[in-house]
Amino acid sequence: MSTSFPLPLECLQMIIRQLAYDGDTNTLACLLRTNKHFCSATLPILYKDPFRVLSVNPNIAVARNVPTRLSKLIKLLLCSNPDAPVSDLLRPAFLQDPAEPKDPHSAPEPTSIPYHSLVTSVEIHLPPFLFASIFQSTNTGFGDYLERYELAERFVLEGIFDRHKIGKLTIMPFVATQELCKDLAWAWCANAERIRSLVIPISDVTRYLSIVGRFELLEDVTFVLDKDIREERRLERRATPTEQKVMTRLRAERVQHLEEMVLLVQEHRRLYPNVLATGRGPDTNLSFVKSFELPSAPGDASLYLSPAPDSFLHRCRTLEYFKSTSISIGAVHWAVDERRRYNADIAAGRRPQHALVPLRSFNVKHGNLLAGDQINDVAFAFGSTLESIEIS
């Protein structure tokens, strides 16, 4: 293509976005090498959400060379921004060559191109095996680092193990990878002024609240429950006094984090009205929410469980679309009761106290255990507006 009359940037980027969406990395790599015009149009799209291809394409995620490439990508992004907060876990995992010890407090050397400034979507929920592979193949010093600095003891003191406990089993490398995901997401937020889409683990919401004023372009935020405390209640009767104290503390922390989540959304809307368009999470002001989707669980489902929908559905007074990975028994009993009261008021010639929820679409992904009565409840409660029920 002639460089004197290049394809308009808008047209070129429309083509590139489709290639990126299709995961055609080979064509994108060729475009990067074509000329500066193609390169400047391609880079922002590639680095907008640099980890998306691994989360949506399982074939790429299991490729043998992925751990090495992922490690280099993370190092590139961290080194392109000298202001990125580099934690005690990030440095030995991605920035420090175990063969060349460096000052633990030294900052990463910046690259010539600020790749970090192109990142506008932050979602670091990559398969744990990728990080495990990185530690085993590209940075053999990371395991030694964990032992040398006694991180297991530090995690116990800080209560990090408690947040990741699966029954009676706690695995150190797995906990380290989960904490790495959090630290990576936080490092990208050194570029907070350009972030448009953000996924925040509930247990990590406090530090995001501290910089909410910098998310001036944030349009989409998702809050993820990275610990299902309800599972611990099943074991509470058999728990030791020490374990009961841990469960009590975890529940108190959850209450605090949920309050901070609401504060984050409220403060952002106060500072930047009409900018935040989508919010997904276990709790927020739901009065005017028309679409509610609980995202599917990334990684280990036992650590990323959706909250029970019955705890908030009755507050979604304008809800039209609902999609979840699960739904508990009795989740729509409130809607059935409202429908019965509504019908009784109409039959008696009285004006109903409030309008029914105008639900149009009901979708439960793992609904194979739903009883017929539950499906009938949905049809009865929302029958006047319901257009589709999908149980898969």
Average confidence (pLDDT) over 193-203:
84
Q: How many CB atoms lie within 10 A of CB 53?
A: 17
pLDDT at 91 over 70: yes
What pLDDT is attached to residue 138?
A: 44
Q: How far is CA 48 from CA 24, 38, 51, 212, in A?
A: 16, 16, 9, 20
pLDDT at 190 over 90: no
Close Cβ partners of 59 (under 8 Å, ≥ 6 residues apart): none
Structure token pair of residue 265: 């959304």
Burial status of residue 131 (CB atoms within 10 A of its CB: 0-12, 13-18, 19 or more): buried
What pLDDT is attached to residue 308?
A: 45
Span 279-337, pLDDT tens digits? 666 545 556 667 766 654 444 333 333 344 455 677 777 888 888 776 766 778 888 99
Burial status of residue 384 (CB atoms within 10 A of its CB: 0-12, 13-18, 19 or more): exposed
What pLDDT is attached to residue 168?
A: 45
- Are 319 and 381 in contact by the 8 Å Cβ rule? The answer is no
**Highest-scoring range by mean pLDDT, 36-50, 140-154, 177-191, 215-229:** 177-191
| SS3 track for 183-220 | HHHHHHHHHHHHCCEEEEEHHHHHHHHCCHHHCCCCCE
Structure token pair of residue 165: 């406990």
Span 208-230, pLDDT tens digits? 999 999 988 888 888 877 765 55
Q: Buried b / exposed e across 7-18, counting CB within 10 Å, b at 16+?
A: eeeeebbeebee
Percent with pLDDT over 70 in the chain: 58
What pLDDT is attached to residue 54?
A: 66
Q: How many CB atoms lie within 10 A of CB 123?
A: 20
CA–CA separation, 58 and 319 (whole Å)? 33
pLDDT at 103 over 80: no
- Are 352 and 346 in contact by the 8 Å Cβ rule? The answer is yes
pLDDT at 365 over 60: yes
pLDDT at 104 over 60: no
Mean pLDDT for all residues in the chain: 71
* pTM score, whole prediction: 0.58
Structure token pair of residue 341: 């009261």
CA–CA separation, 174 and 300 (whole Å)? 10
Span 121-145, pLDDT tens digits? 666 555 555 555 555 544 555 666 6
Q: How far is CA 121 from CA 116, 228, 356, in A?
A: 11, 25, 36
Average confidence (pLDDT) over 44-51:
74
More confident residue, 9 or 150: 9
